[in-house]
Structure formats: C-alpha cells, structure tokens
Amino acid sequence: MSEEQGPRLPELMLLMADRLRSDPTYGATKLNKALFFADHLHYKRHGAPVSGATYERLPRTPAPRGLLAIRQGLVDRGEATVEIRGYLGHVQHRLLPLRAPRQEDFEETELTLVAEVADALRGHSHTSVLGWQLAEEREEIPYESAFLSTSTPNRAELDRGAKLAADLGLAGNGGARRRGLGGVVRTVAYECRTDVVKSSYPRAGEVLAGIEWALARWPDGFHRIPGTRLHLLKTEWPIPALGTWFSLDDETRCTVWVIEEILPYAPEEDGTD
C-alpha cells in the first residue's frame, strides 16, 4: 500500500496518533489496531472506509500494508516523529504528530468514529476480530469481513442447530475437517438458495462475500453445534442479522445448508461495537 494507493492513510495516522498520544499503553501495535477498527467499522456502518487502505494479518494485529514506509514518509517530511520508550518491560514505538492533523479533510462520521475507537482502546487492547483470526499470515483481510460476528451460538441457536442437523442427516461429530495446509482454502458449495437474501437484505452482496470468505477458511470445531457436523457463523450488521449453517465436508470443500435471519445481536455480545 503506497500513499498513492491510500492517499488518506497518512492523515488518518496523524489523526489517530494525536488521539492516542495521551494513552500510556499506546505504541505501534495499538496504532495498527486503531487504524483497522476505524476503517473497517466505518465501512460497516456507513458503506465506505476512512482511508481505503489494504489491511493484512500480522502476528499480533491487523495492519495496513506498507505502513512502515508511510510512517517514515511522515517523519522525513517533518510531520511526525517516532518516540521509542519503555513501558512495563516492553518497548513502544509511538508515532507523534509534529503538526495538527487536518480535521477538515474528514467527514463528521469519520471524526466521530476515530474518537470512539481511540477511547475504546484506551488502557487496553484486543483483537477479537474474526477477519484477523481467520486470515493467514500476511493475507489481506477484506472489508466485507467487518460484518462477521465472533459471538458463540446461544441456547436457542444450539437447539435450532441440533434439529437442523437431525433433519439433514448431519448428527454425530464425524471426522476432523481442518483447513487445508499451506494457505489452501476450501471451495464453498450451496445447498440453499441465496436469491431471497440478495433481493431483500441490506448490502447483501457485501455481507454474503464476507460470509463466503470466512467459510473457506473456517477451522473445524469453531462455533460447532455439539453432537453435530454443523457450524454456525453469525453476522452482526446491518440488522437483521444472518445465521449461516454449514458443514465442513473435507479439507477442500464446505457446504452451506441454510442462511436465515436471526435475532438482532446485542452490542455487548462481542464488544466489537
């Protein structure tokens, strides 16, 4: 990701760094996460990211591709400096603006979300983001993954899954069906129609693209209905939420059996909003 590819990323970095600078836990990892949340949550809520940067999975965090080069460009132009300091036994690399961020370059919704993300991450950090969990090292995390929920099946969904598995002949655990090795992803096949979802669900094409991306990478046992071969993947935005019931047939194939509306999620379920 170069500055030409994501021209707003340098300014977003300055804006976010300015909001985080008073946080004693702020360092390079937290900045990466904050940028990811700002871009992906704004895409999820408003249909477009703030910077449009491409994000990839790093060992501890999602991060914009080419971030180090962009950060160095800010330093070389005298727009920022990098402070290196110790904090609780760790070394922090803190990007600190040397000029005021140009807030006039951002929409009100973008400024509000930047402030919200910085406040939410103050004093702690987490990466309970399904896109980051499922991606391979250095793999791009698509914006469509922002719709995916990390929440586990509730009691009503466990009961629904058990009945559905019995009807489909998918009761019993079966053998382990892990994701293919070496970055190989599964083919996703459909035993259900998606035309109703596509015609009536808000932003259906984006949501369904995020679901398919996740299913191709799904690890066996994750959100699996006990005593069955069914797994459940939920979305959390827009409302109403969707539940996707699927099985992992082998290392190269996943079958989707049902995609249906479920009760709207509560924000406190997973803490991503």
Residues 6+ apart with CB under 8 A from 77: none
**Residue whose entry in the numeric block shows the structure tokens 């702690």:** 124
CA separation (Å) from 5 to 26, 54, 64, 104, 128? 27, 9, 11, 21, 28
CA separation (Å) from 255 to 45, 142, 151, 192, 214? 29, 22, 21, 9, 13
> In the beta sheet, which residues pair with residue 256?
190, 246
Residue 122 and residue 23 in contact, taking contact as beta carbons nearer than 8 Å: yes
Rg (CA), the chain: 20
Looking at residue 126, its pLDDT comes to: 67
Residue-level length of the chain:
273
Looking at residue 58, its pLDDT comes to: 95
Residue 27 and residue 82 in contact, taking contact as beta carbons nearer than 8 Å: no
Query: Within the chain, where are the H helices?
Result: 9-20, 28-46, 67-76, 108-121, 130-134, 155-168, 195-200, 204-215
- pLDDT tens for each residue of the chain, 273 residues long: 444 446 899 999 999 999 999 999 999 999 999 999 999 999 999 999 999 999 999 999 999 999 999 999 999 999 999 999 988 878 899 999 999 999 999 999 999 999 999 999 997 766 679 999 999 999 999 999 999 999 999 999 999 999 999 999 999 876 555 554 456 799 999 999 999 999 988 899 999 999 999 999 999 999 999 999 999 999 987 778 999 999 999 889 999 999 999 876 454 444 444
Give the residue extent of every domain in the chain.
9-127, 146-269
Looking at residue 273, its pLDDT comes to: 44
Distance CA 190, CA 196 (A): 14
User: Against a cut of 0.95, is the pTM above it?
Assistant: no
Structure tokens that stand for 102 in this block? 């140009």
Residue 162 and residue 247 in contact, taking contact as beta carbons nearer than 8 Å: no
**Residue whose entry in the numeric block shows the structure tokens 């489909």:** 168
Residue 142 DSSP one-character state: -
The type of residue at 44 is K
DSSP string, 186-232: PEEEESS--HHHHHHSTTHHHHHHHHHHHHTTPPTTTTBPTTBSEEE
The type of residue at 239 is I
Contacts 24+ apart (CB under 8 A), 207-211: 207/144, 207/147, 207/235, 207/238, 207/242, 208/259, 209/142, 209/144, 210/142, 210/144, 210/145, 210/146, 210/147, 210/148, 210/235, 211/147, 211/148, 211/235, 211/242, 211/244, 211/259
Under the phi-then-psi rule, with left for phi > 0, alpha for psi from -120 to 50, and beta for the rest, what region is 261? beta
Strand-pair category, 241-250 with 253-262? antiparallel
